[in-house]
Structure 1
């Protein structure tokens, strides 16, 4: 039996190998989405497949299983400190989630997803669903197969939901979305009946691409990001990622006819990046580095996009940044006019551009379609019609093209079935975090209005960010908020905010 010191040395070596593979995969994926030439897809897919297979072997081999079993026993016996015991717990869970999926299957999926993302990018630009559809069917089949390998007795979509948000389930999301719809749908109907919308004239027009990129960096600085620890680029679909607290990635997409699209993309992706930059540096090269779940991650991105970025308190700060980069364009605009313009609530086609109120209905649509796909009750050929029908039903709008419809999001090309619900959940987590922050004495409006987000960041760093993967999502939110997750914080926030804007 090896000594504990030998096992801990082996544990460190395992984590270094897994970190190196994650670093390589993340970096390759980022360049694939931002800078690789079109003909690089096949080589990149092969590299990703090999890296995935090797990482799988490191984690799932019998030697690792024996090592983790011995260290679990040592943890139970009180022979490991808290950090070591947590590393063993998280690695054991990761291994349990992966061990029943053969390495070649995991590698094949990584190859397929890399190829599919390149096809999706071309298909979206060309409005060509038919070219992407075969890849979607293959991705659905692969994810269903892998979920059933992991838990043959479970609904595969249930397994996928838990993968992105540990502890979640069909029943959890069904109840959550029911509560959200009961709030949002009547509010949208009341706004329609009101027959008035705030003007967006102050944010309309042409805004130079390079100037928008300069504005992007300024917004990230205002949020509090360390730009010396970040790679910044452009892509078709904005996203962020990380390999350590000292290296995060953000990619944006600039529309010269829609400056606010980039503004809120930056605030959103900046929230993700701040989470990653503020994880305990001691976790940097180990298994505890990274956000604990998609829902918690989205709570941070949507917190800075919406609770900060779309608040009336922050409007003067945002207006000052716009005036700095576009002299003369915003001189006659008041902070309240900007606040109203960026909070206009009306059904729209594109999720990432949706207002804060109707956003969750975009998520419900994807949640429902994913269930049909994973259950085998629909195929890729059915998706455009399912999508368009639900946009008419939930949002009352017709979808003119697949580019503005079922091709708008990158997630399915990555095989990320089960991710979408976490966007809405993250929004709800954020409302509860905001209430807890205020209860702790943080002057949210005062800090946001002064452009001094440090107290807000400090609160989130202490309660969420620094923990990385060390605490599971629901216990993390419960500890931060002083109570169990409760969606009424979110529905109350939406009701109060939009009733105020529309005088309902």
Structure 2
């Protein structure tokens, strides 16, 4: 056996173990969020820590290090096939990051963040930030240590952002976000002054949870979700997780306002379609997943907003919703319903934010995270700074902890650097939207007939099938012909809301 053959064999064996352990870990996390009894959570946190440590050990093992050394040599690497080359690239990134973290520190972080999610849930339920703040401060301090261990060029936040969105930095995001923020605030001012507002009474009516569930389940096949390779459940915070390519699970929560329920399902289905659409040949490989969190988010935001909140989509679906809720919607026209699901009104809760102001919520978190990692903010400062930024950006101020620094689970999970990917997802989605419309004549007509398979087919061909074969920037250029631009999201917002608000 040659040195190259030995390296490839070792690499594939290690990858298989990592993949199997990761699948089990995904299943455990799903169970913790949906079915597991509360009293067993602390014991399970230790088990999760142990399994995560095993994965960590495999990624950073001497065997993996030697295999990557051989496979990453320039001449050898260039001689690999495209798929193996991508697998080596992806693993080398994680190896280089993980190798810089002491194993005992990694294990402590996993246990800390697993327990933190339960502490966060309790603090949110009791509306008491002080219950969570000491734990959050520990997570902040550990993330600061990670930035030093990973290393960075310009800003410590870059070290964390790179884990979720390779190739994007504070410098790039500041430029793109600045343009989106300026245009959003200008458009928001026009909307606030518009005389013709959508109806605001529709969703104050009683929408039975059981019937909401019935409608959401009927949506799944229409949206091309393979129900034999996935399922829909309930959780406190909607999410999608892929146990593997043929077991992709989504959750929602049933709310008094059915918009929250329905659009959470559509959003998570967008994530699921990505996972279900990856090339089956990638099963068991580390490239069987999204190119980045931003690209992944683009698929959920595309389905939720560019499809699910469009007039053509509801031209087809609204009669079906009326059949489920005849008393609640009998006096509501399609136009009134369409305008109501796209109403713009600054809100306190990110997940309930309208499509236009949503990015402002993300930018608030982005700016807070940058300051936390730079050491200019501490955990104790969050409620105050949060409220200040909410007033500055959105003109609303939270009155409770649950509405401010406790509303998201991400920091409890240690996911600093994650939030910007939500806005990046909107930006990627807008660029894809205009590309699809250009390449697919009759886009809106197809939607108005409930024909989503062609749209899903385009996304599968141009995004989904590739998994992590390409980097985010390579993939967006391959799909649209150019690097990420803010202008498409700005154009979309102006076109859509000028029509809805008759600006």
* Aligned twin of 2:221: 221
Greater shift after overlay, 325-334 or 376-385?
A: 325-334
Task: Find out whether 1:411 has 2:423 as its counterpart.
Answer: no
- 1:163 paired residue number: 163
Contact kept in structure 2, 1:311 and 1:339, CA below 8 Å? yes
Note the 1:11-410 alignment, pairs <5 A.
Answer: 11-73=11-73, 76=76, 79-151=79-151, 155-255=155-255, 257-410=256-409
The change in CA–CA distance for 1:213 and 1:7 in structure 2 (over 3 A counts) is same
Q: Distance in 2 between matches of 1:318 and 1:159?
A: 44
Superposition map of 1:482-501 within 5 A:
482-501=481-500
> 1:440 corresponds to which residue?
439
CA distance in 2, matches of 1:419, 1:233: 24
Task: Give unpaired runs (5+ residues) of structure 2.
Answer: none
> What secondary structure does 1:251 align onto?
strand
Alignment partner, residue 478 of structure 2: 479
Q: State the distance in 2 between where 1:84 and 1:77 align.
A: 9
| C-alpha deviation, 1:233, in angstroms | 1.7
How far residue 199 of structure 1 moved from its aligned partner, in angstroms, is 0.4
Q: CA offsets per residue over residues 8-59 of structure 1, 9 Å max, x none?
A: 2222211111111211211111111111111112112111111111111111
Q: Report how far residue 328 of structure 1 moved.
A: 3.8
**Distance in 2 between residues matched to 1:17 and 1:318, nearest whole Å:** 44
1:372 Cα offset (Å): 1.6
In the superposition, relative to structure 1, how do residues 3 and 398 fare at CA in structure 2: closer, same or farther (>3 Å)? closer
Following superposition, the deviation at residue 302 of structure 1 comes to 0.4
Cα distance in 2 for partners of 1:299, 1:75 equals 35
Distance 1:174 1:154 in 2: 13
CA distance in structure 2 between the partners assigned to 1:195 and 1:129 by the alignment: 39
Q: Is the alpha carbon distance of 1:152 and 1:360 closer, same or farther for their aligned partners in structure 2, counting shifts above 3 Å?
A: closer
1:335-386 residue CA offsets vs partner (Å, 9 max, x unmatched): 2111101011111111111111111111111111111211221112111111
Question: Is this contact kept in 1: 2:196–2:502, CA < 8 A?
Answer: no
For 1:205-249, what per-residue CA distance to the aligned partner results, in whole angstroms no more than 9, with x for missing partners? Answer: 111122212222122222110112113221111111112210112
Structure 1 contact 244–290 (Cα < 8 Å) conserved: no
**Cα pair 1:345 1:358 within 8 Å, conserved:** yes
Secondary structure of 2:242's partner?
strand
**Match of 1:463?**
462
Shift in Å at residue 133 of structure 1? 0.7
Q: Indicate conservation of the 8 Å contact 2:45/2:111, yes or no.
A: yes
Q: Tell me by how many angstroms 1:163 deviates.
A: 1.2
Q: Quick check: 200-209 or 407-416, which moved more?
A: 200-209
Q: Distance in 1 between the 2:338 and 2:98 partners?
A: 46
> Contact 1:74–1:80 (CA<8 Å) still a contact in 2?
no
Q: CA RMSD in A?
A: 1.6
Q: Could you list the runs of 5+ residues in structure 1 that have no partner in the other structure?
A: none
TM, length-normalised to structure 1: 0.96
Using the alignment, how far apart are the partners of 2:196 and 2:285 within structure 1? 53
Quote the Cα distance in structure 1 between the aligned partners of 2:199 and 2:305.
Answer: 19
Native 8 Å contact 2:77 2:85 kept in 1: no
Secondary structure of 1:217's aligned partner: helix
How many angstroms apart in 2 are the aligned matches of 1:102 and 1:155?
23
Aligned counterparts of 1:51 and 1:154: Cα–Cα separation in 2: 34
* Alpha-carbon distance between aligned partners in 2 of 1:182 and 1:161, rounded to the nearest angstrom: 23
- TM-score, normalising length from structure 2? 0.97
Secondary structure of 1:219's aligned partner:
helix
Q: Paired residues, what number?
A: 503
Residue by residue over 1:460-503, the C-alpha shift from the partner in whole angstroms, topping out at 9 and shown as x without a partner, is 00111011111000110111001111110110110111112112
4+ residue runs over 4 A deviation: none
Deviation at 1:74, TM superposition (A): 7.9
